[in-house]
Structure 1
Amino acid sequence: MLFVLIGLWTVGVLLLATDPKRPITRWLSAIAFTGGSGGLSAVMGDHVIPYAFERQWLTAPVALVLAKAELASSLLCYYGLPYTFLMFAIHYYPDYPLWDRRAKRLLPWLLIVPPAVSFAFEPMRGDPIPYRYVIFWATPYIIAGTVMLIHSILRERNSFLRRNRLLTTTAAAPPLCFAMFTLYVLPAFFQMYELWRYNAWVIAFTLAVIIGSSLRYGFMGLQISIQNQKLDYTLRAITSGTSILNHAIKNDVGKIRLFGEKIKSEAEEGNASPEQVVQDVEVIMAASQHIYDMLYRIQGQTQEVELRLEKLRPAELLSECLRMLAPQLSSVEVKEQYVYKGALIGDRAQLTEVWTNVMTNALEAMPQGGSLTVRLTETKRKIVVEIKDSGSGMDKAQLKRAFDPFYTTKSGKKLNFGLGLSYCYNIVHKHKGTMNIHSKPGQGTSVFMQFPKNKRLPA
């Protein structure tokens, strides 16, 4: 049990030391501390108190203090472990950021009532806790937390974040489910009290998962997964008000400037045809309309982007995005492959912004020219958009952070905010889609966006 105590409390301290402000981190570290308290109680009962007795240090005051410390550690584990686990699962669940603020404030207090009431019940003789009462709230807490963690994996659309959720669930759920039987079910119904000692083996498995994932994915697998989950929560901030407006306006003002310079240059050279001027002015008007749409759509600095769904033709919209980028395509070979000719239910303004962003990133990756492929295909249930460039590509470190808010590889550009791909991921996610990037240094980059078919407009 000393191993359990040291291992779990070390994990708890590391989590708090690396990311103390994130609620998910605090609740996960609380699981480690409450679970480690059970190990502390066992260490005191098995080693500290017998050792003090052998050395004749166990005076009446010392014995009383040690007994109370052992009991307090034991109760903290029994009553705290289910509660902290359920609170962690609730905070970790994808929809938690969208919950009502009043519900968020009340929920921790409501859920702590059953553990607190446990102190009012007297345990039966020989029992450490009142099992007949505790069993009716502790086991539902653990089962509910486990179900929420598993369901969060199934709901996660992004393959990279799904892997992190899987690692987190693998580390947290098995020891809690095993503890549910050894700490509550078996003692309450079968009077089997000592099987909790086998918890050490399951906790060893948990620590192995942490160590293994830390070797492959960075410092402490659980911590990496929590940091990646910042994407889901900080996207609420970066897709609101000022940040997104800055990014959208930057792109559209750039288009207006490019086409304005194009019209001016052709007019000075006397090569401007009326038809071409009309087409260029239409692009400028479309860019200004998009700025207006973004201003209208975003209600305030602290509110999320609101989707306005309509039936649209993705092939036509992708072609329009390319046409708006025409001045930047002079040295690039563009390949358009629109196999899917059907419709998509989506937000025209937001998808225009997403696809333009991805295309712009592709063009910026090919400053000396290259090949840009825009492909639209379908599977049985998905509409797939692929935007591929033949540029420099990304290494594993860059690819790992590609969706992180405010991360950018374009540090030399003053107007680049590092919001592009994180914004794109959020919009695709809001359309119930997925977004993945495949890239290798020197082999270009492919961005895949998948959208569900047969999605109906809201009534």
Structure 2
Amino acid sequence: MMLFMLCTIWALGLFVLFTDPRRTPIRWASATAFVGGGGYLSGLIDEHILIAWADTLAAHPDLEQGLVLLSRTASFLCQTGLPYTFLLFAIHSSESLSAKTKTFVQILGLIPPLVMLAITPIYPVLSFNYWIMVAWVFPYFFAASFLLIGRYRDERDPLVKKNLFYTNLLIIVPLFLVFLLIYGMRIHNNYEAWRYNGWVVAIQFIVIIAVSLKYGFLGVRLRVEKRRLDSTLRALTSGVQIINHTVKNEVGKISLYADRIHDYAEQHNQPELKEDATVLLQSAQHMLNMVDRIQTQLRDVNLREQSVPAAGLITEAIHALRPFTAKQQIEVVTELDERLQLLCDPALLREVLTNLCMNAIEAMKTGGVLNIQLFLSKKHLVVSVADTGAGISRENLARVLDPFFSTKKSGTNFGLGLSYCYHVMQKHQGLLELSSEPGAGTTVFLLFPKKRVAVRTSTARSESEETNR
């Protein structure tokens, strides 16, 4: 059991580390797992290795003493290092603290563990004063939790915010239980409660895997879902091209014969037959129009990229839709960072913005608020289009990106709008995320990678404006 738990915790540490080893918070999160595993390393040595190899070790006392020292050291590092590494993970995750503050706290935070090193007998028997431990361990835990929750509360990027929510849930709650079982119970002379940590860690590991697959924690589901939608769009594009060719050939025949019938009816003065032929011609043209519209929305997208002011694109899209917002008494509220330049295809992006805004307008038939924001987060340039309409049910929300799925009852809607928007965002190496709640409206987020963004300084902006004048 000890070996299994040790491997599980260290595997979790490696799993976290490999998600993004260049980021300091990730490295401290991984360190928290590895330091926490020290307790099980100590238990493995004391309860298995020293007992199973007792006869062999009796003949090698130096090796036995070395194993005992390793066990005590691992336990000491676990109990003093776990709160410290957790605090450092939270500090380096915070965006409200300066680099100097983080360095200062990192150094200052070492004082309690060093004090414990000075006053704690480690070998041959590890003997902590747990009243002193509790006096600094729980303040470290609550300070770290406060920073992590604050980071989640302040985050505006929906993708990062979702990741932070599950990170907090899967770290703060299990660690609180671990701290209670290790430190809290030992001030009451219960030195065996720590064994229940095995259940806490096992449940935590299972939940992390489940959340990763279902909600996209650490990006796992995002890649699976992206592949599924991409393959669907490719299959549809190929299929529509084949159908389009076939339908055009057959409709061409229908049109030819309908036209001949129309001429015959006109020559022989047969108005009823002429009217029937006209209906056939109109139906044939309608079929061609429908196929062309579907093919247009599923066509492959070729980018013609320029670096343009992102706020300007949004303003243009809103201005073009002013007759619709005025007719339905919709208030348009914008919060746009004018400094942001985006490398994109402006024509395609304008089409995406128009599509999203029209969806929002159609969801607010009795009026409402259309709120559009443009801002730069830690990882993305984010455009959010939010309405105060009826919202989308949970069942439909999971399907809105599927081609040909639509909640609209109009016969002219093919359910390809959001699929097309997704396709355009994919070509920009970006993401499209939706958030909706019935009765509370819908928000669509366009997330562009930061490598496509440039931030104009006030000087550069002034020079640009002077050139335009």
Which structure 2 residues correspond to residues 163-202 of structure 1 after superposition, within 5 A?
A: 163-188=162-187, 190-202=188-200
Aligned to 2:212: 214
Change (3 A) 1:349 1:211: closer
Change (3 A) 1:335 1:10: farther
C-alpha distance in structure 2 between counterparts of 1:130 and 1:51, whole Å: 31
Change (3 A) 1:374 1:226: closer
Change (3 A) 1:57 1:336: farther
RMSD: 4.8
TM-superposed CA distance for 1:148, in Å, is: 2.8
Aligned to 2:82: 81
TM-superposed CA distance for 1:102, in Å, is: 1.8
Is it true that 1:363 corresponds to 2:382 in the alignment? no
* Residues 59-92 of structure 1: per-residue CA shift (max 9 Å, x gap): 2101110011001110110011001111112222
Which structure 2 residues correspond to residues 135-146 of structure 1 after superposition, within 5 A?
A: 135-146=134-145
C-alpha distance in structure 1 between counterparts of 2:41 and 2:445, whole Å: 50
* Residues 254-289 of structure 1: per-residue CA shift (max 9 Å, x gap): x9xxxxxxxxxxxxxxxxxxxxxxxxxxxxxxx9xx
* Residues 22-77 of structure 1: per-residue CA shift (max 9 Å, x gap): 11210111111011111111111110111111445552101110011001110110
Contact 1:165–1:225 (CA<8 Å) still a contact in 2? no
Which structure 2 residues correspond to residues 378-393 of structure 1 after superposition, within 5 A?
A: 384-385=371-372, 386=385, 392-393=417-418
TM-superposed CA distance for 1:201, in Å, is: 0.6
Contact 2:134–2:184 (CA<8 Å) still a contact in 1? yes
Larger radius of gyration: 2
TM-superposed CA distance for 1:348, in Å, is: 7.0
Structure with more contact order per residue of length (Cα contacts < 8 Å, sep ≥ 6): 1
TM-superposed CA distance for 1:359, in Å, is: 8.2
SS at match of 2:325: strand
Contact 2:86–2:144 (CA<8 Å) still a contact in 1? yes
Structure 2 residue identity aligned to 1:361: L
TM-superposed CA distance for 1:136, in Å, is: 1.4
SS at match of 1:129: coil
Structure 1 residue identity aligned to 2:444: V
Which structure 2 residues correspond to residues 33-432 of structure 1 after superposition, within 5 A?
A: 33-55=34-56, 57=58, 59-93=60-94, 95-96=95-96, 99-122=97-120, 128-188=127-187, 190-217=188-215, 221-222=217-218, 250-251=307-308, 321-322=317-318, 336-338=324-326, 346=335, 349=338, 360-363=348-351, 372=358, 375=361, 384-385=371-372, 386=385, 392-394=417-419, 409-410=426-427
TM-superposed CA distance for 1:360, in Å, is: 4.8
TM-superposed CA distance for 1:154, in Å, is: 3.4
Aligned to 1:19: 20
Aligned to 2:232: none
User: Any unmatched runs of 5+ in structure 2?
Assistant: 224-303, 373-384, 388-412, 437-441, 447-469
SS at match of 1:393: helix
SS at match of 1:349: coil
TM-superposed CA distance for 1:371, in Å, is: 9.7
Contact 2:17–2:27 (CA<8 Å) still a contact in 1? yes
C-alpha distance in structure 1 between counterparts of 2:318 and 2:173, whole Å: 50
Aligned pair partner of 1:447 in 417, 431, 444 = 444
Query: What number of residue pairs does the alignment pair up?
Result: 318
Contact 1:5–1:39 (CA<8 Å) still a contact in 2? yes
Structure 2 residue identity aligned to 1:337: T
Change (3 A) 1:387 1:56: closer
User: Any unmatched runs of 5+ in structure 1?
Assistant: 228-246, 256-286, 291-316, 327-332, 411-415, 423-434, 440-444, 450-459
TM-score, normalization by structure 1: 0.56
SS at match of 1:192: coil
C-alpha distance in structure 2 between counterparts of 1:206 and 1:133, whole Å: 28
TM-superposed CA distance for 1:336, in Å, is: 2.7
